[in-house]
Structures are given as structure tokens and as C-alpha cells.
Chain A
């Protein structure tokens, strides 16, 4: 019945887009793809009869166009569900949930608690991934465009805070935690969660038109959530299974 799934079974693998932003997605020293999102996808596809996933690392901005151009079959990269995105792609049920955090210098010298605090301090700058959730949150909170710095990747953001180029760097909590763990820099501090920022969840994103495959995916995801296997995969990475199970795609896509 599902032509797309049949096709994937036949070729034996599904092509997924990832971002190389641990712990959501990661590439190990041997080149192997890991991270919570691909691990979940790998397991579900196996249950669907597709033996493996092949990951290509992509910029966040190129993911949705790539999906639409048929470059990937699914995006599993911590791409948070939001109404506009829900209009552009077909999301699965929630997988990874996370709140927003900010990375600042030790002692939080400017006393940030929320994006509004940054807006109020006319000399403060905040870094965020281009086109990401954090950029939009900061802009919506009233931080002017020229004080929201588009940073290409996490490592660069960390370096820019260290060097004092930006006052805060904003990413999901777990991503920031991972960054600071690797950097092992006692002069940095994490503010989590950012006050007033909602908790977001991602899902596997399929191309519009592949809803049948998405539905099959959802069925397996639900089974895994129930059996506790889901929690076993994502909790070692620091994600909360409960958070994902307490909300739905419907709610997240309708928000605001």
C-alpha cells in the first residue's frame, strides 16, 4: 500500500539529514553517525523492514529544501516543530524535547534570565544558529536584528563567547551542555532553562506527500514509547522520554 516504504525496503536504506549537533546528532571519530535522533530513526526503520540509514550532514537551512528536492527521505536532526514548519513538511509524533538555554561567561555578568533581558541591555549581543528557533525567539523578544549574530555552528558560538565577541550563545539545553562538557572551560556558565521560552520537541520530518510512510513511522514510534525501548535509547543522551510522551504533534503544530 505504501509505495515509498516499499521503495526504501527495496533499496535497503533510508537517507536521513542530520546536523552534527551533539547530542541530537553526532559523527564519531570513525565516521559513524550517532546521536539521539538518528538512533531512534535507525531502530524504527529496522522495524519497518528498512535495514539501515545513510546520513548526510547538512546545514539547518538546507534541510527542508533538500527534503523537497528529494535529496533525503527524512530529516532527523532536532528540527523543532513549529506551525510554519508543520506547513512545509510532514512531522512524526514528538521524539526529542528540550528547553532553551544560554551560554554565558562565568557569573553571568550581565544577569540574563530571558531573551527580554538581552533586548533591554542595549549593548548586549546574542548568538544563535541562522534560521533556528533561538534566533526567532530572540527577535520576537525585541532584540534588534543587528544584535542577533548568526553563528554557523556550535563550536564557533562557544569560541565567540570565550573570546567575548558575543555576550550569550543560545541553543537547546542539551546541546549547550554537550558543548561545555567538551570545552571543559571553568570560565563559562549555562543558564537553563531560559525564562519564558517554551519547551520544543522535534519529530522526524518527511516530505509532504509521504504521509503514509510517516504514519507507519508513527505506529512503530508509539509501540516503542509504550514498551520503554524509546526511553532506553534517548535517556543516555540526556533527553526526557516523559516530555516527549506528554505532548503531541497536534498541540505543537497549533501553538501560537
Chain B
């Protein structure tokens, strides 16, 4: 048996501070990425409903493209190819933009479903009440559409959290990258990798509880 299988608590204690450093970056990237994804998603969802067919179409294809290709390759593209055309982004910024854009295409679907789920009768009632477009959106449609979306949105933000290890490809020292760095320095893989797994599991189990609560709180609207 190699040293791989011998679990060493002293070693765990030693590398903990480094890993926690990584957790901080991971959380920061997730939070910023979520905010961006929420905004980008709404923009895409609204653009796809635009009466201007050209706008709706091209945004639609753009979103499909982003959704159909791996985030990893997109990150490489943003970080290593964009500088050729003069766009030089710091690693964390590039990472947040990558996460935000990629997950924005998912949240756009959530927004779309949420808006579509408001019954047609509500649009018609708004018309029968002679409400204009803006009033219909702000007073009738969005207040009903957004609460049921919250659990689905939260779900994607949790998924994003688990995809942050990809940022190591563009030199962001998040949790996974820290763990790899530790592993390479000491030639011990099992403790850092298992700790990473444990971190993710703990955070996502907490988030499951949070999700259930959100679903309970916002999931349905009584009619």
C-alpha cells in the first residue's frame, strides 16, 4: 500500500488554512457569477421575446451556442483568445464573466418558463382592466412569475458553485486549484481531494435544505 491510502490527520490540519483560502475564492466567484447570471438571463429572456425578429433570433442562437459548448473551453477562449483582440481580463473577472454568461443561458430558460407559466387569463385580465405594457409587466406578470422561479434559480447557482473548479484552467486559485497545488507539493492526493469533496458535499447538503425551504416558501402561488 502506498502512502495514498494512509489518512493523516496532522497533514489535514496543516493544509486546512490553504484550502479555506480556496473556499473563499470559490464562494466569491459563485456569488458574483450568480448575480451576473441572474441579470444576463433576464436580458436574454426579454430579448428572445422582442418583437424585433432579428434580435430575437440572433440572441436565441447565441444562447443556444453558449449552452451547447463546455464552460471549460469558453473559459479558455475568454482568457487566452480574447487578449488577441485587445480584451485583457484579470483571471477572476474572466472567470466570473464565463460563469455568468454560461449560467445566464440557463437562467434565461427559467425566466422564460416562469413568464410562460403565468396563465393567459392574467394577460387578458390586464388588458380588460386596460393596463398598459409596462404596468402589466410590473404589477401583474412579474410579481406572479418571479416567486416560483426562485427555487430553480437557486438550483443553478448551486450547480455553478460545483463547477468553479474549472476556473483553475485560467489560473484562479479556487478550492480545487489550491488542493491540487497542495497535492503536488506533498505528493499526497487523498487528503486534499477528499476534503474538497467533503467541502462541496457539506455546502450542497446545506443548500438542499435551503432549496427545500425556498420551494416551500415561494414554489407555488395560490389561485
List residues of chain A with CB under 8 Å of any chain B CB: 60-62, 64-65, 68-69, 84-85, 88, 127, 130-132, 135-136, 146, 149-152, 156, 159-160, 162-165, 207-208
Contacts and interface: CB of A to CB of B under 8 A. Distances in A.
A61 B180 contact: yes
A121 B2 CA distance: 42
Interface residues of B, number: 20
B3 A88 contact: yes
A68 B188 CA distance: 11
B155 interface: no
B173 interface: yes
8 contacts: A61-B184, A62-B189, A68-B2, A84-B187, A146-B173, A156-B80, A159-B83, A165-B91
Given A84-B186, A130-B184, A150 B80 contact: no
Contacts, number: 60
B183 interface: yes
Given A163-B88, A208-B2, A152 B184 contact: no
B50 interface: no
Contacts of A207: 2
Q: Return the 9 tightest CB-CB contacts between A and B, nearest first.
A: A131-B184, A68-B2, A163-B83, A61-B184, A65-B189, A88-B187, A68-B4, A130-B181, A149-B171
Given A68-B2, A149-B171, A150-B171, A85 B177 contact: no
Contact of A131 (B2, B169, B181): B181
B185 interface: yes
B168 interface: yes
Nearest to B178: A150
A135 B186 CA distance: 13
Contacts of B187: 64, 84-85, 88
Q: Which of B83, B171, B173, B177 counts the most A-chain CB atoms under 10 A from its CB? A: B171
Contact of B173 (A61, A64, A84, A150): A150
Interface of B: 2-4, 80, 83, 88, 91, 168-169, 171, 173, 177, 180-181, 183-187, 189
B117 to A, nearest CB: 43
Given A61-B184, A130-B181, A150-B177, A159 B169 contact: no
Nearest to A69: B4
Contacts of B177: 130, 150
A21 to B, nearest CB: 15
Nearest to A82: B187
A163 B186 CA distance: 32
A150 B18 CA distance: 14
A130 B2 contact: no
A187 B70 CA distance: 33
A84 B181 CA distance: 15
A224 to B, nearest CB: 29
B169 A152 contact: yes
Contacts of B168: 150, 152
B159 to A, nearest CB: 23
Contact of A150 (B2, B181, B186, B189): B181
A140 to B, nearest CB: 11
A160 to B, nearest CB: 8
Given A65-B4, A130-B180, A136 B185 contact: yes
Contacts of A62: 189
A47 to B, nearest CB: 28
Contacts of A64: 187, 189
